[in-house]
Amino acid sequence: MSKLHLPKVIGHRGAKAYAPENTLESIETAASLGVEWVELDVKLTRDNVPIIFHDEELDRTTNGSGLVAHTDYEDIKQLEAGSWFADSFAGIKIPTLEEAVDIILKHNLGFNLEIKPCPGREKETAEIALDHLSQIWDDMDKLLISSFQHVSLESALDLAPDYARGLLIGGEEMPENWKQLAEYLDVTTINLGSKLVTRAVADEVMDMEKPLLVYTINDPMQARTLQKLGVDAFFSDCPDVILENLAGGLN
């Protein structure tokens, strides 16, 4: 049984509002803001190197183009991943999972690793990422593996049953079978897109006695409203803003 120590606020892709998402600089920025945990996305390069990256394509956040799934790490590591965000970040790189974990450990942060496979690579992304992670991560209280992909969570359950898992659900409506999925995948947390969080859904999650995490919350008023419904933790691009506004507890 996991003794997960969740914070109230998790830095989304590091601290996405202040630094290029999913980079070492974004993790450093989150740490400097007093954030306790960060969330990062992992996927595989063509040659199976786990990298921290959100999109299927390189175009939006790097000077490269094309699919990550079609690009080898040798080429990925040449790319520049900062100047799209601001000139002051020019020259920074896409990190590997190992490089990101180094910085997370240096700052003693908790870690939500979201398995974000390229289409068709759901199983191998979980297998390879968790194999790498198991060699460098010890603290089960500060680690949550999440995914929208049930196959990835199933692999996580098979390979690393001791790692807490979070079932990610997005979109406009809860899938009918979400409770069965949560039971089957034996998840510790339910991680929902904010549109899904009605009082009824929040109550149902509470009845399951699982922490409810919600993404992506950048508005303090929204955080307060959700906190009153029983939301336990928020993913935020500007975690400092949410942290400040939840200070003092408004339950």
| Category of 209 on φ-ψ map: left (φ > 0), alpha (ψ -120 to 50) or beta | left
In the chain, alpha helices (H): 24-32, 73-76, 97-106, 122-134, 150-159, 178-184, 199-207, 220-229, 239-246
Min. distance of Cβ 170 from Mg ion in angstroms?
10
- Record the tokens describing residue 214, joined without a space: 């919600």
SS3 category, 134: helix
Among 235, 240, 241, 243, binds ligand G3P (CB under 6 A): 235
* In the complex, least distance from residue 249 CB atom to Mg ion, rounded to whole angstroms: 27
Out of 18, 37, 215, 234, which residue is the one contacting ligand G3P (CB under 6 A)? 215
Instruction: Check if 132 is active-site.
Output: no
Residue 188 binds ligand G3P, judged by CB under 6 A:
no
Q: Which is nearer to ligand G3P, 54 or 123 (CB)?
A: 54
Q: Which residue of the set 54, 107, 132, 150 is catalytic? A: 54
Report which secondary-structure segment, H or E, holds 234: strand 233-236
Residue 45 identity (one-letter amino acid): T
Tell me: does residue 187 bind ligand G3P (CB under 6 A): no
Which candidate, 203, 197, 209, 182, places its Cα nearest to that of 234?
197
Annotated active-site residue in 5, 12, 70, 132: 12
Is 54 catalytic? The answer is yes
Site string for ligand G3P, 126-165 (x = CB under 6 A): --------------------x-------------------
From the CA atom positions of the chain, what is the Rg in Å?
A: 17
Lay out the site mask for Mg ion across 102-121 (x = CB under 5 A, - = otherwise): ------------x-------
C-alpha distances in Å from residue 63, one per residue of 8, 22, 90, 207, 248: 35, 15, 11, 47, 43
Structure tokens at 110: 């908790």
**Using alpha carbons only, what angle is made at residue 149 by residues 165 and 160, rounded to the nearest 5 degrees?**
35
- Contacting ligand G3P within 31-70 (CB under 6 A): 39, 41, 54
Cβ 41 to ligand G3P shortest distance, Å: 5
21 contributes a contact to Mg ion by CB under 5 A: no
Would you say 39 or 154 has its CB closer to ligand G3P?
39
Instruction: Check residue 240 for interaction with Mg ion (CB under 5 A).
Output: no
Among the listed ranges 40-48, 59-67, 126-134, 219-227, the one in contact with Mg ion (CB under 5 A) is 40-48
Q: Where are the alpha helices (DSSP H) in 33-160?
A: 73-76, 97-106, 122-134, 150-159
> 214 near 235, Cβ under 8 Å?
yes
237 binds Mg ion (CB under 5 A): no
Catalytic residue annotation? 12, 54
Q: Where along the sequence are the contacts to Mg ion (CB under 5 A)?
A: 41, 114
Q: Where along the sequence are the contacts to ligand G3P (CB under 6 A)?
A: 12, 39, 41, 54, 114, 146, 168, 191, 215, 235
